[in-house]
Structure 1
Amino acid sequence: MRKLFAAALAATSMIAASAITAGPARAADTVRIGYWTSGVSLGYGSVLESKDFLAKRGINAEFVHFPDVNAPLRALASGSIDLAFGAPVAGVFGTAASGVPIRIFAATQPADVQFVVPKDSPIRTLAELKGKKIGMSPAGSSVAVIAGAILAGNYQIKSSDFSLVGGNESRLAQFLVQKQVDGAALRSVTVAQLGDELPVRRLSSFAEEWKKLTRSDAVPYIGVGAVRAELVEKQPEVVARVIASLRDTLAWGNTHREEVVQILRKKANLPEDDARTYVSLWNEMNRVAFEPADIATLKRQHAVFTESGLVKGDITDELFATRPYQLANGLK
């Protein structure tokens, strides 16, 4: 009886493995993938679309572009897309807490963000941002929520104590040039791209401030992979193959940097210098991970966000769909 059970279990495992690894030999599964065409997502998404990593894994990808950072979440909620590889963490927490059936399947974008002011600014510390205008990604974005939690937790600057001026990265740079904001929370790649055009002085980083706030070495995430609950529950192997494709893209980009530069120039319309700066920070900005430590960091973020009053509602372990990631670990 025990031998019969072991044989049946082995056969089941072989069938499951075959279903996942069959890839292009089977009919491709269509997955509607949405992303924000700015910030970190623009560069990574451009490479993902330009190469055939998804097709090689048996995924027929239909890409949907959004000009607003929170739009992919609304599209997930309405069923207009199936998956977003860089959904804002804070928005995912709030959306899930409201009862929308979505799941997180990977942590994808570390918060590689810096607080900066114009080089000639009299402001020297984050504490001096009280009562000032601060440029950052729009309200509700992960950057805005993390920045708010840091200012409140480390410097007692509440959201009502400063003016949030929202915009995409290029717009925020313009605000700094035109002195329409006193400081800004910008991604490291944007700060590097500014170069001599806009000399800025760095005050601190999200990583440094988060360490101070949480007394941990973990770096918070601004973006995660989010998926409709129905897809991840009924077809976890499909999501696993998407995860494998995201990893393929990440690895290829790291070893083919010159080709990535050309893709960004052509598809993302980035000047060559900006494209090279983006590529130089490829591994710092992009990630495909969902280990226990990553989930613990995300849970810590939710706790900090809710304690600060920046995100409302509880989440459960059900939000973190680990099965596809585990299946993806078995793919070659």
Structure 2
Amino acid sequence: MKRRELLKGAAVAAFASALPQARAAALDELRLDYAYYSPLSLVLRRFGWLEDALKADGTKVKWVFSAGSNRALEYLSGNSIDLGSSAGLAALLSKANGNPIRTVYVGSRPEWTGLLVAKDSPIRTVAELRGKKVAATKGTDPYLFLLRTLREFKVPKSEVEIVHLQHPDGRAALEQGKVDAWAGLDPHMAASELDAGSRFLYRNVGYNTYNFLSAREAFLAEHPQVVAKVITAYEKARAWTLANLSDAAKILAEEAKVSVPVALLQVKLRTDFSNPLPSAEHVNALRAAAPILREEALVKPGTDLDKTVAALIDTGFAKSVIGGKAA
């Protein structure tokens, strides 16, 4: 065990020395987000493991709530947080549009979004959305899921009225009949299913991208040891969650104010926590999904998305920290 820890420390130190701007600067406060779509962040915040890990350094931890990927990425771009969790494709979109971030850890592989209609809706196919109102949160996985779905079923975006609402408001709009469909996000989506009888119009696990934990590039360069401690703490939360899925669901239920069955649907049945290491799997998934960003003119013409993917996903840092211990 001691040898493994020494090797881990040496790897982190080597990574830090490879960064030209790296320096052993003191950090008074670490700012990171927590979100209902990121169960590991809720577990980590609940038990205070990160606070414990940074206490000896005199670093305090400030938790900032993210209502959606768009908020987390805005906070990163505006230097309001140092690390934030978001959907993979949303992170790529943000990176392509100038947000200087790098993904250093993968919280999960969720099926957290789908296209829902109300319980009594007569709509049965995606094609029937022509001329209808669909709620979605711009800049998030559900929004990009909606765009990919419309393209798959050859429904022009111009023939659908997309109503831009935050996730909880989108749920309310669907259940109140103010929109005809909603690109939802768990746990709000699961709650609408179980509590209001909303049903999937279309679901596709392949159109759900990963839960990425990304850091500001400047922060990663200045405080690689702190980022390493964050990843180590996330790994502790992941191991605990895998061993205590029902208890993790209870934490989500309490935080998001949803029922335990709703939380269990999200945590136990629709979230895969098995692969935390950014790797070729994530690079390839984003490269396959990236064309929607260009096709919908969400990035500047001529943007090299393959290069952007490579610049976003750091496949080495987490491996140097947790190595083969991830399982």
Question: Aligned pair in 2 of structure 1 residues 223, 181: CA closer, same or farther (>3 Å)?
Answer: same
Instruction: Quote the Cα distance in structure 1 between the aligned partners of 2:228 and 2:123.
Output: 47
Amino acid at match of 1:328: V
Q: Structure 1 unaligned runs (5+)?
A: 1-11, 21-26, 211-218
Identity %: 25
Instruction: Quote the Cα distance in structure 2 between the aligned partners of 1:206 and 1:242.
Output: 31
Select which of 10, 14, 18 maps to 1:16: 10
Q: Which residue of 2 aligns with 1:79?
A: 79
Question: Aligned pair in 2 of structure 1 residues 196, 92: CA closer, same or farther (>3 Å)?
Answer: closer
Q: What TM-score does the superposition give when structure 1 sets the normalisation length? A: 0.76
Q: Which residue of 2 aligns with 1:53?
A: 49
Q: Which residue of 2 aligns with 1:226?
A: 214
Q: Which residue of 2 aligns with 1:100?
A: 99
CA positional deviation for 1:108: 3.3
Instruction: Quote the Cα distance in structure 2 between the aligned partners of 1:292 and 1:171.
Output: 36
Instruction: Write the deviation string for residues 25-77 of structure 1: whole angstroms up to 9, x where unpaired.
Output: xx988531124x4x513x44322201133245447532122446423222222
Instruction: Quote the Cα distance in structure 1 between the aligned partners of 2:273 and 2:191.
Output: 14
Question: Aligned pair in 2 of structure 1 residues 260, 282: CA closer, same or farther (>3 Å)?
Answer: farther
1:330 is paired with a residue whose SS is: helix
Instruction: Quote the Cα distance in structure 2 between the aligned partners of 1:133 and 1:285.
Output: 34
Q: Which has the larger displacement, 235-244 or 320-329?
A: 235-244
Q: What TM-score does the superposition give when structure 2 sets the normalisation length? A: 0.77
Q: Which residues in structure 2 correspond to 1:37-48 (within 5 Å)? A: 37=35, 39-41=36-38, 43-48=39-44
* CA-based RMSD: 3.3
Instruction: Write the deviation string for residues 71-93 of structure 1: whole angstroms up to 9, x where unpaired.
Output: 32222223221110x22444433
Q: Which residues in structure 2 correspond to 1:142-221 (within 5 Å)? A: 142-152=141-151, 154-187=152-185, 189-195=187-193, 197-207=195-205, 210=206, 220-221=208-209
Instruction: Quote the Cα distance in structure 2 between the aligned partners of 1:91 and 1:14.
Output: 31
Instruction: Write the deviation string for residues 242-288 of structure 1: whole angstroms up to 9, x where unpaired.
Output: 22322221221232234334433444433444344444336348963
Q: Which has the larger displacement, 261-270 or 168-177?
A: 261-270
Instruction: Write the deviation string for residues 149-207 of structure 1: whole angstroms up to 9, x where unpaired.
Output: 2212x122232221112334433332222211112222465444335642233232132
Q: Structure 2 unaligned runs (5+)?
A: 1-5, 15-25
Question: Aligned pair in 2 of structure 1 residues 150, 194: CA closer, same or farther (>3 Å)?
Answer: closer
Amino acid at match of 2:47: K
Does residue 250 (structure 1) correspond to residue 238 (structure 2)? The answer is yes
2:196 is paired with a residue whose SS is: coil
Q: Is the 8 A contact 1:111 1:206 kept in 2?
A: no
Which structure's CA Rg is the greater one?
1
Instruction: Quote the Cα distance in structure 2 between the aligned partners of 1:258 and 1:329.
Output: 25
Q: Which residue of 1 aligns with 2:304?
A: 314
Does residue 330 (structure 1) correspond to residue 323 (structure 2)? The answer is yes
CA positional deviation for 1:148: 0.6
Does residue 241 (structure 1) correspond to residue 240 (structure 2)? The answer is no
Amino acid at match of 2:81: I
Q: Is the 8 A contact 2:12 2:224 kept in 1?
A: no
Question: Aligned pair in 2 of structure 1 residues 318, 143: CA closer, same or farther (>3 Å)?
Answer: same
Amino acid at match of 2:154: Q
Amino acid at match of 1:308: E
Amino acid at match of 2:72: P
Question: Aligned pair in 2 of structure 1 residues 184, 95: CA closer, same or farther (>3 Å)?
Answer: closer
Instruction: Quote the Cα distance in structure 2 between the aligned partners of 1:122 and 1:14.
Output: 57
Amino acid at match of 1:323: G
Question: Aligned pair in 2 of structure 1 residues 328, 285: CA closer, same or farther (>3 Å)?
Answer: closer
Instruction: Quote the Cα distance in structure 2 between the aligned partners of 1:276 and 1:104.
Output: 27
Q: Is the 8 A contact 1:149 1:310 kept in 2?
A: no
Amino acid at match of 2:97: S
Amino acid at match of 1:16: A
